[in-house]
Amino acid sequence: MKNICITYGAGTYGTFLQWAMYRFSELYQSTNLIVPDLPFNDNGNSHLFVGNHLQNTINFKQAILSYIHSNKNHPIVRIHPKCSNEVDNLLDNLEYVSKNFKKGIHLTPASDSVAWSINNKFEKIWEDGWLVNQEKLYQHNLKGWNKNSLADMVPWELREFLSFFIYPQHVSETEYSRLSEFAEKLPNIKIVPITELRDNLKGTLLSILDYCELAPANLDKFEEVCTGWIQRQYHCNKDSLIKQIVDSVMLDTKYDWKGEELTLVDEALVQYYLRENGLEIKCNNLNKFPSNSVALKKITYYV
Write down the pLDDT at residue 59.
Answer: 85
Q: State which fold the 2-127+174-231 domain adopts.
A: Rossmann fold (3.40.50)
Question: Is the pLDDT confidence value at 58 over 80?
Answer: no
Write down the pLDDT at residue 225.
Answer: 96
Average pLDDT, the chain: 94
Query: What is the C-alpha separation between 160 and 37, in angstroms, rounded?
Result: 42
Asked whether 113 and 121 are in contact (CB, 8 A), the reply is no
215 vs 132, more confident: 215
Question: Is the pLDDT confidence value at 193 over 60?
Answer: yes
Asked whether 97 and 90 are in contact (CB, 8 A), the reply is no
pLDDT in tens, 197-234: 999 999 999 999 999 999 999 999 999 999 999 999 99
Asked whether 197 and 112 are in contact (CB, 8 A), the reply is no
Query: What is the C-alpha separation between 208 and 179, in angstroms, rounded?
Result: 18
Question: Is the pLDDT confidence value at 3 over 80?
Answer: yes
Question: Is the pLDDT confidence value at 57 over 80?
Answer: no
* Stated pTM of the model: 0.95
Dihedral (C-alpha) 116, 201, 188, 84: value to the nearest 10 degrees?
A: 20
To the nearest whole percent, how much of the chain has pLDDT over 70?
98
* CA-to-CA separations, 289 to 84, 102, 118, 269, in angstroms, rounded: 29, 49, 19, 12
pLDDT band (50, 70, 90) for residue 128: confident
Annotated domain spans of the chain:
2-127+174-231, 130-171+236-302
